[in-house]
Amino acid sequence: MIVRLSKSYPSRDGLPVIDRIDTAIFHVRYFTHCLQCSFCNDWCCRSGVDVDLQNVERINAHAAELEQLTGIPHTEWFEDNVVKDSEFPGGTHTRTMVVDGGCVFLDRRGRGCLLHAYCIERGLDCHELKPIVSSLFPLTFDEGLLHPSDEVSDKSLVCLGAGETLYSGARSDLLWYFGEECLAELDNIELLKPVYARE
């Protein structure tokens, strides 16, 4: 069921903006704690991710250190193709390169995202470098709608079925991007879960 929010909520960078939600985010469950997973082999990091050009600049500002972690020159981190997209900060995005079957920032000596790990190690907020699409996954946004990612809808996400709801798993990230007022409204809608139980 699609529910319209009381107002539009722009992210802290102005884009994306959400004004509606798919209430499936309050029901569908997945194995939320990625680095505790023993069965997915970082499945969700196999295809790379869309990243706005402002985010690319922030990542490249740490190129020297990140090159040591990835073992790959920063000139090979992103696709050359730039896509105009009015939902991304700055109105454009590119995509991280895929190397040996995974995102260029996948930790091949361990687990998970090197951008995330790098931020934790340096005491940085991971949202500063990690793309919004990665941070919110398995939620995504489309023309103002906050909804489950395609991998949830087509049931290809290997960790579906047990754990927290999509909303619970992404709640702290939604707070960081969209703020307390937005989160309060989402929390209130979540309380109405029984109303949507038959969707």
Angle at 106 between CA 103 and CA 107, to 5 degrees: 160
- Give residue-wise pLDDT tens across range 76-116: 999 999 999 999 999 999 999 999 889 999 988 876 899 99
- pTM, two decimals, is 0.90
pLDDT at residue 135 greater than cutoff 70: yes
| Phi (first) and psi of residue 144, to 5 degrees | 90, -5
Q: What is the pLDDT of residues 156-185, one digit of tens each?
A: 777 678 789 999 999 999 999 999 999 999
Q: What per-residue confidence (pLDDT) applies to 156?
A: 78
